[in-house]
Amino acid sequence: DSGVTQTPKHLITATGQRVTLRCSPRSGDLSVYWYQQSLDQGLQFLIQYYNGEERAKGNILERFSAQQFPDLHSELNLSSLELGDSALYFCASSETWSSYEQYFGPGTRLTVT
């Protein structure tokens, strides 16, 4: 158990809908990262937040957005969902500005029907 929690574990929704995935980092970790894992694209970095501010963007679609709250938990919002958005979404966290280790949560499996 990495100490990173994600909810929900599974999510089934229809095309065109909007969902929110939630992540709580390890206690004391300031950075949160979001990744998407799919059979087509493999593991892709989406976005990173550090202490409430966006720090880096990866291959995140415009239909997706994220934020990190004052208590350091983060949410990933996915809207206008398409079949191709079905994937495993991981959140990871790391300790401080100078820490390089990233700890991954258990993931949220999203199925779009």
Positions in the binding site for other proteins (CB under 8 A): 2, 31, 33, 35, 42-48, 50, 54-58, 90, 92, 94, 96-107
Minimal distance, residue 45 CB to other proteins, in Å: 3
Report the number of secondary-structure helices (H) and strands (E) in the chain: 0, 11
- Whether the bond between 70 and the residue before it is cis, its omega within 30 degrees of 0, is no
35 phi and psi angles, rounded to 5 deg: -130, 150
Nearer to other proteins among residue 7 and residue 80 (C-beta): 7
Residue 13 phi, psi (nearest 5): -150, 175
Rounded least distance, CB 42 to other proteins, Å: 5
Shortest distance (Å) from residue 88 CB to other proteins: 9
Pairwise CA distance, residues 56 & 48, whole Å: 5
Q: With respect to other proteins, which residue has the nearer C-beta, 17 or 111?
A: 111
